[in-house]
């Protein structure tokens, strides 16, 4: 549960940084990969917790 909350908070923070990047206050080539990685981490955590382990 902690990883999911960390991913959601990270996504929100990096989304705000990406908005600053779109306004040319930060470099967009730095903020966009950070947002992508945080979204990837969050989606991975949501998909991994209810997986079938086998018999």
Q: Is the pLDDT of residue 48 over 80?
A: no
CA torsion, ordered 20, 8, 44, 40, to nearest 10 deg: 0
Mean pLDDT, residues 20-28: 95
32 in Cβ contact with 18 (< 8 Å): yes
16 in Cβ contact with 35 (< 8 Å): no
Q: Is the pLDDT of residue 17 over 90?
A: yes
Q: Which residues contact 42 (CB under 8 A, 6 or more apart)?
A: 4, 7, 8, 10, 11
Q: Is the pLDDT of residue 52 over 80?
A: no
pLDDT band for 25, please (50, 70, 90 cuts). Answer: very high
Q: Is the pLDDT of residue 34 over 90?
A: yes
């Amino acid at each position: 549960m902690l990883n999911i909350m960390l991913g959601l908070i990270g996504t929100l923070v990096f989304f705000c940084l990406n908005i600053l990047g779109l306004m040319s206050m930060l470099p967009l080539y730095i903020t966009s990969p950070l947002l992508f990685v945080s979204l990837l981490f969050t989606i991975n955590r949501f998909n991994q917790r209810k997986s079938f382990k086998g018999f």
